[in-house]
Amino acid sequence: MKSKESISEPGNVLNRIKRGLSGYVSYLAACEMNQAFSEYVLYEPILRILTARGYTVNCEFPCPGFPKPVGGGDCKKIDFEVNGHGQRFAMEVKWAKRARLDVGQDHLKLAAFHNAAPASRSFLCAFGRKSHIENISLVNGKFTEFGVGVYADFRITKYGCRIYEISLG
C-alpha cells in the first residue's frame, strides 16, 4: 500500500527527487566525476524533476526577512522556491560530507520564508554517501523527516537522499 506522502503533492515530487538524485549521482560517480561533487551538482536534476512535474521554480530566490547587507555582498538566498499543484514551498539543499550536518543557516532561511508566507512549507534536502546519510545528525535546526530516505546501492557507489520538513517553534 502506498503512503499518502507518495501519492499527494508535494510528497510525490519529493520522493522523485530522492530517487532521481541517488541514481543521478551514482551515474556521475561511474563517469569519474567525483571531483566535481558539491550541492550545486544537485540543482539541475532537482530543477528538471520539479519542472517535469509542472511546478514553477525560482532558483537562488532572495530570502525574505534578510535585507541586502549594507556595504555590499549578496543577500541570503534560498536554493529553490517552488509553486504549483496548490503548493508553495522552499527547499534548501545540503551535500553531507559527514554524518553530522550543521543546518543552522538553512533553518533560519527556511523559517524566514515560512514567516513571510505562512501557508507555505519548507524543506531541507540532505544528500551524500549512504554511510553519512543513513545515520545523519542534523545540528542547529529542528526538522522532521518527510517520508523515508532513498538509497542507491550499486556496490561501489552508494548514495542516499533524505528530505526533512522544518519544525517551527
Give the angle subtended at the CA of 21 by the CAs of 158 and 61, to the nearest 5°: 140
Question: What pLDDT score does 2 carry?
Answer: 52
By the 8 A CB rule, do 140 and 102 touch? Answer: yes
Burial of 135 (0-12, 13-18, 19+ CB in 10 A): exposed
Angstrom distance (rounded) from CA 148 to CA 15: 8
Give the pLDDT of residue 36. Answer: 84
For 73, the grid coordinates are: 555582498
Nearest to 82 by CA among 109, 53, 105, 108: 53
In the predicted model, residues of the chain with pLDDT beneath 70 are 1-7, 72, 169
Provide the residue ranges of all domains of the chain, joining segments of one domain with +. Answer: 4-166
- Please report the pLDDT score of residue 21 as a whole number: 96
Q: What is the CA radius of gyration of the chain?
A: 16
pLDDT of residue 79: 97
Tell me the pTM.
0.91
Q: Terminus-to-terminus CA distance in the chain, angstroms?
A: 33
> What DSSP designation does 22 have?
H
